[in-house]
Structure formats: C-alpha cells, structure tokens
C-alpha cells in the first residue's frame, strides 16, 4: 500500500456493544438516532461520520450506508432498507409503498406524547433509549394518533443538520416530554 492507495482495504465495522431494538413501525432514521444516543453520541450525523457515512445517506437507504449500519447493529440490510424513506425520482418509497413528497413531513418531527410515555413504561431500562419515531407520524394526512386518538404534536425544525434525528429533537427541543 505504497503512497496511500485509495483502494486500500478498509477495516470492517465491528458490531457495537450498546444496541437498540428496531421496532416494527420505526423508521431507519429513528433507529439510527436512538443507536447514536445509546452509544453516547450527541447526534445521528456525528455518529454516522464516525463510521464513514452520512446520516442523510442512511435516511435515504443508500446501499453502502445501509451496509455500515447493518454491520454495526447486527440487523439485516433489507430490513433497514424497507424502513428507510428513500427518494425515487419525485416520489418516495417506504416499506414497499410509493408516496408523494407532499404527503410526508420529513423536516418537522411529529409525535404522540402518550406513545412516548408508553415506550418508557414498557421499557425495562431507560438507558436503552426506548422512545422512537413511528413511520406513520411522517404522513401529513395523519393528524391524530391512531392508538390514542390524541392530536400529534410537532417540533418545528429549521436546522437542516438535524432533519429526522428523532432522539436529538426529543432531548433538545421538548422539555415537557418525559425522557430518559
């Protein structure tokens, strides 16, 4: 590897010791956000940079980024791909469904306080970062939580570096929400 060959073999990322369970209705962005918090990293963007990718690429289902997250989390890359909200021309794909851009709320973070309270109550330990973003909260047409019938709340996000970083928003923007 004389001269710093750009094609030099890179180390394969090892599986992290501190993991989170991917929830059935969780987005890839929320999962990586929780994984970052679980490992003591302040944001998903910084966490992803540690592994040579970007949070945006992870959110959009980039194959290389997806492979990195799969390797460090022990999850199947196909599962991560399905849970991502991936761009497709002027549309998006999530869990096999083609969606119009206008129907999604990706910049602002929406949540149901009762769902987040349920996450905490059902968790064995708060340090496992149990509160997660549900994929259904991304749909603009959904104004109320389908489980609790209460209005969804919104954290308005003018800062692009934290778009879709669910756990970062909960920890930095909503003091009224109970958090671990």
- Provide the pLDDT for residue 131: 92
- Provide the pLDDT for residue 8: 41
Q: Is residue 127's pLDDT more than 90?
A: no
DSSP 114-162: HHHHHHHHH-S-GGG-----BGGGGBTT--B-TTT--BPEEE----GGG
The number of beta carbons lying within 10 Å of the beta carbon of residue 48 is 23
The model carries a pTM of 0.81
**Tens digits of residue pLDDT in 30-51:** 999 999 999 999 999 999 999 9
Q: Is residue 173's pLDDT more than 60?
A: yes
CA 20 to chain centre: 11
158 pLDDT tier (thresholds 50, 70, 90)? low
Q: Is residue 169's pLDDT more than 90?
A: no
CA angle 179, 73, 163 (to 5 degrees): 50
- Provide the pLDDT for residue 152: 92
Whole-angstrom Cα distance, residue 160 to residue 25?
24
DSSP the chain: -TT--TTPPPPPPPPPSS--PPPTTB-HHHHHHHHHHHTT-S-HHHHHHHTTS-HHHHHTT-HHHHHHHHHHHT--HHHHHHHS-EEETTEEEETTEEEEGGGB--SSEEE-HHHHHHHHHH-S-GGG-----BGGGGBTT--B-TTT--BPEEE----GGGTT-HHHHHHHH-TTS---
- Provide the pLDDT for residue 12: 63
Average pLDDT over residues 105-126: 85
**Tens digits of residue pLDDT in 61-81:** 888 999 999 999 999 888 877
- Provide the pLDDT for residue 4: 45
Q: Is residue 54's pLDDT more than 90?
A: yes
Q: Is residue 109's pLDDT more than 80?
A: yes
Q: Is residue 166's pLDDT more than 60?
A: yes
Q: Is residue 11's pLDDT more than 70?
A: no
- Provide the pLDDT for residue 6: 45
Q: Is residue 175's pLDDT more than 70?
A: no
């Amino acid at each position: 590897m004389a001269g710093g060959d750009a094609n030099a073999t890179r180390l394969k990322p090892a599986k992290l010791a501190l993991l989170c369970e991917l929830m059935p209705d969780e987005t890839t962005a929320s999962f990586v956000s929780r994984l970052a918090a679980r490992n003591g990293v302040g944001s998903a963007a910084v966490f992803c940079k540690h592994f040579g990718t970007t949070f945006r690429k992870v959110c959009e289902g980039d194959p290389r980024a997806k492979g990195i997250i799969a390797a460090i989390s022990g999850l199947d890359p196909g599962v991560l791909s399905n849970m991502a909200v991936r761009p497709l021309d002027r549309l998006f794909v999530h869990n096999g469904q083609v969606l119009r851009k206008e129907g999604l709320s990706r910049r602002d973070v929406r949540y149901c306080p009762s769902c987040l309270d349920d996450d905490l109550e059902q968790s064995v330990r708060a340090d496992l970062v149990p509160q997660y973003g549900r994929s259904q909260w991304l749909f603009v047409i959904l104004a109320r939580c389908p489980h609790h019938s209460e209005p969804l709340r919104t954290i308005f996000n003018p800062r692009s570096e934290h778009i879709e970083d669910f756990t970062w928003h909960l920890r930095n923007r909503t003091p009224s929400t109970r958090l671990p």
